Structure 1
Amino acid sequence: MFRSALPRRFSLPTFRRYTQATKMSLKYSQAISAKDAASLDKDLMEMGGWSLDQLMELAGLSVSQAVWKVHPLSAGKNVLVVCGPGNNGGDGLVAARHLAQYGYKPSVYYPKEGKNELYQVNPPPKDSSNIPPNLTSDHFKRLKIQLQNLSVPFITDFSTALKETHFLVDAIFGFSFGGPLRDPFGPIVSQIEAASVPVLSVDAPSSWDIQSGTPKEGPGAKFMPQALISLTAPKPCVKFYQGRHFIGGRFLSRDITDKYGLDLPPYPGIEQVLEVGVDAEGRL
């Protein structure tokens, strides 16, 4: 889901695709923390008048646009969307709906569906006072119905689907993940890690610690997706990331941005995503 925007002192003055020769000196040591991102989500609902399902809709739209940019239809229409049980998984369900409308042939692997609980991530954060709840199970059911009405299949044979897909969206865990991975997600991440299929991760590569990046061992220790979309600002772990990087989301009001000292990048036209580069020193 949408979490935040870039710190104002690091605002993006113009839109461009950054090359090795021209990259902004935006250090990820200044990226928004998971705690502030969660607090901002809550403020968006309490101060900004947003509902959680609205934010999820905008997040999923951004994810789908990032897929369009990194994996055009000509590269293969089969897209496997792997969803976790929380809000990140909901983002994936929304993205799958948009992808179907774009002309892709998405399928969804949803091994542990969302429930009406506060935080299904593992382990739960010690202080959840500033953290908004997940959507209710009824909303997740509605998202499933929308996909079923578009003939988007929910698959159960993950290994076979992984071999047949042209692209994969990792929407398992986002900024609130604290690890370690619990079943069934450990084996799932291991299979994604070993596969040759290109991957777009949503907000953070699943299994990564939001501060320190890849786990030292076990599932995800060598997981480096080809693309990543940060919602809506990079998290600290992105300094360890190497690949195509996008920021998604353009909706914060002035009172919210003033409170957090944030500024939206200048998305051009009707774009919902903005590509920025990442160099070896962890700078945008």
Structure 2
Amino acid sequence: MALKTIGAKAAAALDQELMSTGAFSIDQLMELAGLAVSQAVYRLQPLNNGQRILVACGPGNNGGDGLVAARHLFHYGFTPTVFYPKRSKNELYQRLAKQLEDLDVPFVDDFPAAMKSTDHVVDAIFGFSFSGEVREPFPAVIQALQETKLPVTSVDAPSSWDIENGPPKTGLGSSFMPTALVSLTAPKPLVNHFTGRHFVGGRFVSPSIAKKYNFEVPPYQGVDQVVEIESSEQKL
């Protein structure tokens, strides 16, 4: 089953529709997105292959998804560490961070140093709304991500990539190719430039909304919140 992609404008409109006519709260959507990410990481990183997960969180919704994923990963038996340098003053994000602090999940300030003692990295820095230049303190993070030999799972978009056109042609992020990508709700056009393992997550879209935005809800199995998409099926 080949999945259609949706662009940045459509993805933003879809999110707004889910929170209006769809009657979801942003808390619900973030919880479901983070749960999907955690399930993908659980498949990619078996516990007996290393339990240390470093989650890099940006200041927006993508970072919120990462905070939720870190909490679920803790309960799966992993040992998460969180890099969250630009904490939002929004109450939702503050609550998500507090939930991790109550689990004694450590927050770190030095991302390159933290990478030296982890087994897997979750890139939850920038999502589908990213555009322009990577601003501090994230350039060093993107540089470390594109140079590491560790497995990296990106949330919705590899950070620094353009949602329509993929990686930058030159410079920072141009050689960043994560091990895996978790597309939330539906794949974005950047998947045409992605060569790693691809998952779609977000088991909450109604058939009527999917029809309106002209994409297919993938065939989720059992209690799974993610579906892995074969490389031959993702390029559209």
TM range (shorter): over 0.9
Helix, strand or coil for the counterpart of 2:80? strand
- One-letter identity of the residue aligned with 1:215: P
Q: Does 1:246 align with 2:220?
A: no
- One-letter identity of the residue aligned with 1:207: S
**Post-superposition, which runs of at least 4 consecutive aligned residues in structure 1 deviate over 3 A?**
none
Which structure has more relative contact order (CA 8 Å, sep 6+)? It is 1
Q: Does 1:222 align with 2:152?
A: no
- Asked if 1 retains the 8 angstrom alpha-carbon contact of 2:67 and 2:97, the reply is yes
Distance 2:171 2:95 in 1: 35
Q: Which runs of 5+ in 1 are unaligned?
A: 1-11, 13-25, 116-136
Instruction: Select the residue among 61, 82, 88 that pairs with 2:62.
Output: 88
- One-letter identity of the residue aligned with 1:191: A
Q: Which runs of 5+ in 2 are unaligned?
A: none
Helix, strand or coil for the counterpart of 1:62? helix
- One-letter identity of the residue aligned with 1:212: N
Helix, strand or coil for the counterpart of 1:80? strand
- One-letter identity of the residue aligned with 2:27: D
Instruction: Give the alignment's TM-score, normalised by structure 1.
Output: 0.80
Deviation at 1:282, TM superposition (A): 6.0
Q: Does 1:165 align with 2:139?
A: no
Q: What's the counterpart of residue 162 of structure 2? A: 209
Helix, strand or coil for the counterpart of 1:220? coil
Q: Does 1:72 align with 2:25?
A: no
Instruction: Select the residue among 75, 81, 85 that pairs with 1:111.
Output: 85
Distance 1:253 1:51 in 2: 15
> CA RMSD for the aligned pairs?
1.5
- One-letter identity of the residue aligned with 1:283: K
- One-letter identity of the residue aligned with 1:170: D
- Asked if 2 retains the 8 angstrom alpha-carbon contact of 1:108 and 1:152, the reply is yes
Distance 1:251 1:232 in 2: 8
Instruction: Select the residue among 20, 27, 31 that pairs with 1:57.
Output: 31
Over 3 Å counting, the alpha-carbon distance change for 1:242 and 1:97 in structure 2 is: same
- Asked if 1 retains the 8 angstrom alpha-carbon contact of 2:186 and 2:215, the reply is no
Asked which structure has the greater CA Rg, the reply is 1
Q: What's the counterpart of residue 184 of structure 2? A: 231
Equivalent residue pairs, number: 236
Distance 1:194 1:262 in 2: 34
Instruction: Select the residue among 44, 59, 79 that pairs with 2:18.
Output: 44
- Asked if 1 retains the 8 angstrom alpha-carbon contact of 2:207 and 2:217, the reply is no
- Asked if 2 retains the 8 angstrom alpha-carbon contact of 1:240 and 1:282, the reply is no
Deviation at 1:194, TM superposition (A): 1.0
| 1:129-278 mapped onto 2 (5 Å cutoff) | 137-278=90-231
Distance 2:88 2:94 in 1: 9
User: Percent identity at matched positions?
Assistant: 56
- Asked if 2 retains the 8 angstrom alpha-carbon contact of 1:187 and 1:219, the reply is no
Distance 2:124 2:199 in 1: 15
Distance 1:221 1:264 in 2: 31
Deviation at 1:283, TM superposition (A): 2.5
Helix, strand or coil for the counterpart of 2:165? coil
Distance 1:225 1:261 in 2: 28
Instruction: Give the alignment's TM-score, normalised by structure 2.
Output: 0.96
